[in-house]
């Protein structure tokens, strides 16, 4: 009932910018609902819909995107009827050729890889955790240190890496529709000129991350340096950290700088793209170096976290 009243208000003529701001702020949930609903309808009508959480998330993501555009451009359209303006913006958006391929660079094999991986990360904690490795090269020990995790949460990270290595990565790559030949081709470029691929990834990642951050509104806003320090210092906001940092390079750089003293994996937050999952042997060798190895005895990977705490 309440929603009907709000939508009725949104159909009425708004004559000042202040009025527009007030009304849209008051009815934001309804606007988002509406935009997500229209997106769902569009996807259904074009045969791109399936009743699953992935498509629901996609509809929400596009809903946010559309409402954001509406909020930016709407103010300059006053006087207007906000709901009609939103609808016309949505219609215009979906009448573009191939609107879901939101940037043509993201249709390249590298673009699809980054986009697909991040899209998977929105749904899967394993994929989310794996982003730290695929984008920056952080192993499980590095992730634990960076996020300052306690024993229980560290165990989760190890499980995330393990499942990703066993099945998650393959599943994501299959979902992306990436062939082994395409992966090999990227690897050839990477071997020949690692910087080139990293630079290209560097350019695409902000675009992809910004897009997918919208799907988790409560984890969306960037925090200031001070707020990150607070979060780390008081040891709360675990979900926020894991989610936001994996999907925001700027905040990742802040977090890294704050955490630097406690890190043994001081690899920086330059993009260091990894196409395949972290192999088990790599964990052992990393550990071996960390411990100044030499006696040839491998220790369980879990020890990294306890050693660093």
Sites of contact with Zn ion (CB under 5 A):
222, 248, 251
Distance from C-alpha of 259 to C-alpha of 194, rounded to nearest angstrom: 27
Nearer to Zn ion, 220 or 288 (CB): 220
Nearer to Zn ion, 248 or 304 (CB): 248
Minimum CB distance to Zn ion, residue 244 (Å): 6
Question: Who's near 60: CB < 8 A, 6+ residues apart?
Answer: 32, 36, 215
Minimum CB distance to Zn ion, residue 76 (Å): 28
Nearer to Zn ion, 73 or 222 (CB): 222
Q: How far apart are the first and last CA of the chain?
A: 53
Minimum CB distance to Zn ion, residue 240 (Å): 10
Which tokens go with 258?
Answer: 């704050």
Nearer to Zn ion, 169 or 240 (CB): 240
Minimum CB distance to Zn ion, residue 292 (Å): 36
Please provide the DSSP assignment of 232-259 as one string: HHHT--HHHHHHHHHT-HHHHHHHHHHH
Q: Under a CB-based contact definition with an 8 Å cutoff, are residues 53 and 21 in contact?
A: no
Question: Who's near 130: CB < 8 A, 6+ residues apart?
Answer: 117, 121, 160, 161, 164, 168, 169, 277
Nearer to Zn ion, 22 or 225 (CB): 225
Q: What letter does residue 218 receive in the DSSP assignment?
A: G
Minimum CB distance to Zn ion, residue 248 (Å): 3
> Three-class SS of residue 62?
helix
């Amino acid at each position: 009932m309440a929603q009907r009243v709000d939508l009725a208000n949104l159909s009425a003529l708004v004559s000042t910018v202040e009025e527009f701001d007030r009304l849209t702020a008051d009815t934001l949930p309804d606007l988002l609902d509406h935009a997500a609903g229209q997106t769902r309808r569009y996807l259904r009508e074009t045969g791109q819909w399936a009743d699953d959480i992935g498509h629901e998330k996609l509809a929400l993501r596009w809903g946010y995107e559309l409402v954001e555009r509406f909020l930016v451009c709407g103010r300059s359209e006053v006087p207007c009827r906000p709901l009609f303006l939103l609808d016309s913006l949505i219609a215009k958006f979906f009448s573009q050729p191939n609107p879901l391929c939101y940037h043509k660079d993201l249709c390249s094999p590298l673009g699809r890889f980054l986009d697909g991986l991040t899209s998977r990360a929105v749904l899967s904690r394993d994929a989310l955790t794996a982003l730290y490795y695929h984008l920056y090269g952080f192993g499980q020990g590095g992730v634990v240190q960076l996020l300052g995790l306690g024993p229980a949460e560290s165990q989760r990270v190890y499980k995330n890496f393990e499942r990703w290595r066993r099945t998650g990565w393959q599943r994501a790559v299959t979902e992306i529709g990436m062939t082994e030949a395409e992966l090999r081709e990227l690897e050839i470029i990477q071997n020949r000129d690692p910087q080139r691929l990293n630079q290209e990834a560097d350019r695409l990642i902000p675009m992809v991350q910004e897009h997918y951050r919208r799907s988790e509104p409560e984890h969306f806003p960037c925090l200031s340096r001070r707020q990150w320090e607070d979060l780390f210092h008081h040891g709360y906001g675990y979900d926020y950290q894991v989610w936001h940092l994996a999907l925001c390079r700027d905040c990742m750089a802040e977090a890294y700088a704050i955490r630097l003293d406690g890190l043994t994996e001081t690899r920086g937050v330059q993009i260091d793209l990894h196409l395949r999952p972290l192999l088990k042997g790599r964990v052992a060798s990393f550990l071996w170096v960390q411990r100044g190895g030499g006696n040839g005895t491998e220790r369980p990977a879990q020890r990294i976290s306890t050693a660093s705490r």
